[in-house]
Amino acid sequence: MFHIHNNLTAEQQLENVIVGVYDHPSKFSGFAKVADEALGGHLTELLKEGEISAKAKRVSKVHTLGKLGAKRLVFVGLGKEKELTFETLKEAAGKAVKQLNSSKASSAAVDLESFTGETVSGTDAAHAISEALALASYQFEGYKQKSNEPEKRIEELLVFTAEDEAEIKAALTVGYVYGKATNSARDLVNLPPNMLTATDLAHYAESLGEKYGFETEILGKEEMQRLGMGALLAVNQGSVEPPKMIVLKYQGKEDWTNVIGLVGKGVTYDTGGYSLKPRESMVGMKTDMGGAAAVLGAMEIIGEMKPEQNVVAVIASTDNMVSAEAFKPDDVITSMSGKTIEVTNTDAEGRLALADAVTYAKQHGAGYLVDVATLTGGVIIALGTEMTGAMTNNEALFEQVLEASAEAGEPIWRLPITEKDKKRVRNSKLADLNNSPGREGHAIMGGAFVGEFAEDTPWVHLDIAGTSTAKKDSDLGTSGATGVMARTLALLVERFESASE
């Protein structure tokens, strides 16, 4: 995939050379300067006339007409050097990758020096470009009859740099691992619900366990009944598909201490149960396992990168269906923790599944918890589709999640949980908790409910209902699943040890 070379010359025979250009008119550096001289200053003229744009994320393609070894130069606008961020660079590179893929290019060369500057190092640029290569090349194949002509994607990237080869190679590898694992999460979310049941999700987790040596545990219905997982079992009551509690353990330290628990909602399809969703709202509910996909994507990265940290991933998986056996409003159920729950809304099922998953993660030794779930439509009303909602009971852990999300380019915004909010979810005459105490502050009610099971364990809740899918293409992906939070969780684990000890 990646080949690193020292010098890029005007004579080298290449199909496409990707060059970064900063917004300082009439001035090229690195290979662009060499190419400009070989073309008699033609590139400088194109830059002055605006045919080559240095504005951030603008891509300009120039054919060299045989006057250079390279057939095409692909200029990527980076904007002002002092203002360039890692995320902007990644998006700019993604846009260039998409253009090259659309022209059926199978290889490209990158002049890495042209992307470095005051705010971006060579290793940062390498990471951003390789991650963008994976993310921007993503396509979900789907189930249409295939053309005889295979789709072409960039499969070879030649990176020219004068920097340390080992460091650049490591950065390229890390970026590509993060991008590919995000694509794995996207694939899971994009799968139709008849092709991704709880059993299928468990098989996928087992395959990760076999590949990376994770300790794997898959609980079926009988084991859950013995353990008293009444909340998850209630959600599953109406289904012909058996539920699964999925556990993957990665031990990166000698002792099983300082364990981070990653908890994912794995509802493979949500009808709403007897609190049935309207027809328009039901379409797309195959994506209700986006939290589980994020956790499994993060575990793929962890398996590849092998950080010195202990992680337990716990996923509660089922679908939420309607039948004569399905749970119903007014039921009272008993969770694994012993807390009883009055069901006032069967469409508030994700928090029930998470309740038992959080309790089970704690039983596996998790001293820190981060749960990820497509939990509420309310978070979309509050924050839109670009921002993940977050809630917490621990400032120090939240700061680490916030930093990881910023680095991953997956922004989060904190919502409050007050004592009055906690009283609302405890407001039941029949049980310890009410699973849906009203529409007001609906996203907060969902988070506060899950927090009742985290109890005193440091915990962050991430509601990705708005960010787990996209309605239109972006520079780093297509419409459909985004794979959001896979990279954030992996970065949290990677950085967590030094930040917490």
Query: Is 265 annotated as belonging to a binding site?
Result: yes
Residues 216 and 209: their CA atoms lie apart, in Å, by: 6
Q: Using the CB atoms, write b or e for 353-377: b if 16+ within 10 Å.
A: bbbbbbbbbbebebebbbbbbbbbb
In degrees and rounded to multiples of 5, residue 161 shows phi and psi of: -155, 150
Query: Is 331 annotated as belonging to a binding site?
Result: no
Report in angstroms the alpha-carbon separations of 313 from 338, 364, 394. Answer: 22, 10, 20
Chain Cα centroid distance, residue 371: 13
Residues 349 and 117: their CA atoms lie apart, in Å, by: 49
- Token pair for residue 453? 């099971």
Question: Which spans in 191-229 are helix H?
Answer: 198-212, 221-227
- 456: burial class by Cβ within 10 Å (0-12, 13-18, 19+)? exposed
Q: How big is the CA angle at 454 (ends 452 and 460), to the nearest 5 degrees?
A: 110
- 3-class DSSP state of 10: coil
- Token pair for residue 241? 């598909």
- The DSSP secondary-structure symbol of 21 reads E
Residues 478 and 501: their CA atoms lie apart, in Å, by: 39
Say which residues have a Cβ less than 8 Å from residue 138's Cβ, sequence separation at least 6: 183, 186, 477, 478
- 3-class DSSP state of 231: helix
> Residues 277, 328, 422, 426: which is the catalytic one?
277
- The DSSP secondary-structure symbol of 81 reads G
**Strand 366-373 to strand 459-463: parallel, antiparallel, or no bridges (unpaired)?**
parallel
SS3 content of the chain, % helix, strand, coil (to 5): 40, 20, 35
- Token pair for residue 428? 């039941």
Is 277 part of the annotated catalytic residue set? yes
Query: Is 288 annotated as belonging to a binding site?
Result: yes
> Residues 351, 362, 424, 487: which is the catalytic one?
351
- 430: burial class by Cβ within 10 Å (0-12, 13-18, 19+)? exposed
Annotated binding site, which residues? 265, 270, 288, 347, 349
Residues acting as catalytic residues: 277, 351
Annotated binding site for Mn(2+), which residues? 265, 270, 288, 347, 349
